[in-house]
């Protein structure tokens, strides 16, 4: 018996049948003796429909009013779920962000939660009700409705879980949990029973889009365990939590990858200080986000500077760099918009040498040329030609035997 927060995403509540299904899952948790707080997203497609309405009116809708508009989507879902529960004699009451007291800053369409009031939650839980909360929304100090940005319902759920000191925050979605890599690509990919917050942050920012990153950051800060699991199956999913001893047995947790990359390099720049800052300043001025960065100085004291950007920014970035290359007296600019990024993530690699060499040897044996490398404490990323990406993921998955997960990671599942 515990206090748990469950969050159901848009596809989990996308139809009336699915809302009935969610109601059954909530009742199952109640019948186990748990107190349950449920955070819901808008029904699948609803937020997009509302945004289309706004953009049908005006290309730049007023942000305050956009938040008023799109926050209505979650209000619909929460009422429907409360009805479905009450119809099954399970007392439930729904609350908007405003009614519950989810206080945020003033930044419309991407507000940050400042505080979650617990009075309403505690009152309703004491009555034995399931508390249903609209995800993705809050109010600012002025009483205006705010929204948290795409995927914000995950953050709502984690913030509530922290404020009421829940046992865990369960994020129900349409996948079974977090895998060692994309199971669509590698059939042998394994579901990870457990992963650390840090690994999850590295995995997700690299393309394993299971959880909103802000929610993982928040959970990590307050050490709130998140469980990612499927609405449509009965598995225990993946527990995202602080690093524990059992995790040390794994060198590598998973392989993330992304096809949306482009690489740009400037070669033969005469050495000068402040060069790197100058290049990145010009790029960021154009609101282009840079991902990987590598730099080395050649034996002739000229500098080679390489970075990657999202593929859709390639042309814009190239224009800036070509102009800059003239000023910097660089000898050449090379780009490739048909590359992919492959990243190995694992807390275990921190204290083990040899992970990088195993990775590079495996790629070398398969004759896959590496165009760029960056490393961090728990991640190694390489840029390779896009045509080699899928093969590369499979080879690395095999090289680290990720299809054979250690069995030491069993943990208690709150159900």
Other CB atoms within a 10 A radius of the CB of residue 311 amount to 18
Q: What is the DSSP string of 261-312?
A: EEEEEEEEEEP-TTHHHHHHHHHHHTTPPEEEEEEEE-TTSEEEEEEEEEGG
Query: Which CB atom, from 33 or from 143, has the smaller least distance to its own copies?
Result: 143
Distance, in Å, from the CA atom of 129 to the CA atom of 122, rounded to the nearest integer, reads: 10
List the interface residues with its own copies, window 226-245 (CB under 8 A): none
In order of 106, 277, 340, 343, 399, the CA distances from 376 in angstroms are 35, 21, 18, 11, 20
Instruction: Candidates 31, 33, 60, 89: give the one binding its own copies (CB under 8 A).
Output: 60
List the interface residues with its own copies, window 120-149 (CB under 8 A): 143-145
Distance, in Å, from the CA atom of 414 to the CA atom of 170, rounded to the nearest integer, reads: 9
Instruction: Candidates 99, 371, 374, 411: give the one binding its own copies (CB under 8 A).
Output: 99
Query: Which CB atom, from 85 or from 175, has the smaller least distance to its own copies?
Result: 85
Query: Which CB atom, from 106 or from 315, has the smaller least distance to its own copies?
Result: 106
Contact by Cβ (8 Å): 370, 289: no
Instruction: Candidates 31, 33, 58, 301: give the one binding its own copies (CB under 8 A).
Output: 58
Answer yes or no whether residue 347 interacts with its own copies by CB under 8 A: no
Instruction: Candidates 28, 53, 242, 286: give the one binding its own copies (CB under 8 A).
Output: 53
Write the interaction track for its own copies spanning residues 142-181; mark x where CB under 8 A is met and - where it is not: -xxx------------------------------------
Instruction: Candidates 3, 44, 98, 385: give the one binding its own copies (CB under 8 A).
Output: 98
Distance, in Å, from the CA atom of 329 to the CA atom of 411, rounded to the nearest integer, reads: 59
- Count of positions on this chain that bind its own copies (CB under 8 A): 37
Contact by Cβ (8 Å): 290, 309: yes
Contact by Cβ (8 Å): 149, 70: no
Count of residues making up the chain? 415
Answer yes or no whether residue 192 interacts with its own copies by CB under 8 A: no
Distance, in Å, from the CA atom of 5 to the CA atom of 38, rounded to the nearest integer, reads: 6
Query: Which CB atom, from 94 or from 194, has the smaller least distance to its own copies?
Result: 94
List the interface residues with its own copies, window 23-52 (CB under 8 A): 50
Distance, in Å, from the CA atom of 56 to the CA atom of 91, rounded to the nearest integer, reads: 40
Write the interaction track for its own copies spanning residues 63-92; mark x where CB under 8 A is met and - where it is not: -xxx-xx-xx--xx-xxx-xxx-xx-----
Answer yes or no whether residue 20 interacts with its own copies by CB under 8 A: yes
Instruction: Candidates 9, 10, 14, 61: give the one binding its own copies (CB under 8 A).
Output: 61
Query: Which CB atom, from 21 or from 350, has the smaller least distance to its own copies?
Result: 21
Contact by Cβ (8 Å): 79, 16: no
Query: Which CB atom, from 93 or from 397, has the smaller least distance to its own copies?
Result: 93
Instruction: Candidates 7, 25, 34, 93: give the one binding its own copies (CB under 8 A).
Output: 93
Distance, in Å, from the CA atom of 182 to the CA atom of 111, rounded to the nearest integer, reads: 31
Contact by Cβ (8 Å): 227, 240: yes
Query: Which CB atom, from 124 or from 202, has the smaller least distance to its own copies?
Result: 124
Contact by Cβ (8 Å): 128, 89: no
Query: Which CB atom, from 99 or from 246, has the smaller least distance to its own copies?
Result: 99
The 3 state secondary structure assigned to 210-254 is: CCCHHHHHHHHHHCCCEEEEECCCCCCCEEEECCCHHHHHCCCCE
Query: Which CB atom, from 27 or from 363, has the smaller least distance to its own copies?
Result: 27
* Contact residues for its own copies, defined by CB under 8 A: 16, 19-20, 50, 53-54, 56-58, 60-62, 64-66, 68-69, 71-72, 75-76, 78-80, 82-84, 86-87, 93-94, 96, 98-99, 143-145
């Amino acid at each position: 018996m515990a206090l748990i927060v469950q969050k159901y995403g848009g596809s989990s509540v996308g139809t009336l049948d699915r809302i009935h299904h969610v109601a059954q899952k909530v009742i199952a948790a109640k019948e186990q003796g748990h107190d349950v707080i449920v955070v819901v997203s808008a029904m699948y497609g609803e937020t997009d429909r509302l945004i289309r309405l706004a953009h049908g009116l005006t290309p730049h809708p007023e942000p305050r009013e956009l938040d008023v508009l799109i926050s209505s989507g979650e209000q619909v879902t929460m009422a429907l779920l409360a009805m479905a529960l009450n119809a099954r004699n399970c007392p439930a009451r729904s609350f908007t962000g405003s009614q519950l007291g989810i206080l945020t800053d003033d930044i419309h369409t991407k507000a940050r939660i400042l505080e979650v009031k617990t009075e309403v939650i505690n009152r309703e839980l004491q009555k034995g009700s399931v508390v249903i909360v609209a995800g993705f929304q809050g109010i600012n100090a002025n009483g205006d409705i705010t929204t948290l940005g795409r995927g914000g319902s995950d953050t709502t759920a984690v913030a509530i879980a922290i404020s009421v000191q829940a046992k865990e925050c369960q994020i129900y979605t349409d996948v079974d949990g977090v895998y060692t890599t994309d199971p669509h690509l590698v059939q042998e990919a394994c579901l990870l029973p457990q992963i650390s917050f840090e690994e999850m942050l590295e995995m997700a920012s690299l393309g394993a889009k299971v959880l909103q990153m802000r929610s993982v950051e928040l959970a990590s800060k307050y050490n709130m365990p998140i469980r990612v699991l499927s609405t449509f199956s009965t598995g225990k999913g993946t527990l995202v939590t602080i690093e524990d001893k059992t995790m040390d047995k794994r060198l590598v947790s998973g392989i993330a990858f992304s096809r949306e990359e482009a690489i740009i390099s400037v070669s033969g720049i005469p050495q000068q200080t402040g060069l790197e800052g100058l290049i990145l300043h010009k790029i960021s001025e154009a609101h282009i986000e840079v991902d990987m960065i590598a730099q080395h100085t050649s034996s002739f004291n000229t500098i080679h500077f390489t970075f990657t950007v999202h593929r859709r920014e390639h042309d814009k970035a190239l224009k800036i760099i070509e102009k800059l290359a003239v000023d910097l007296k660089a000898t050449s600019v090379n780009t490739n918009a048909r590359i992919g990024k492959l990243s190995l993530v694992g807390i275990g690699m921190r204290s083990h040498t040899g992970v990088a060499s195993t990775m590079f040897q495996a790629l070398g044996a398969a004759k896959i040329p590496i165009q760029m490398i960056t490393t961090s404490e728990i991640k190694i990323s390489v840029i390779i030609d896009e045509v080699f990406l899928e093969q590369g993921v499979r080879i690395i998955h095999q090289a680290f035997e990720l299809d054979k997960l250690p069995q030491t990671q069993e943990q208690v599942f709150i159900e």
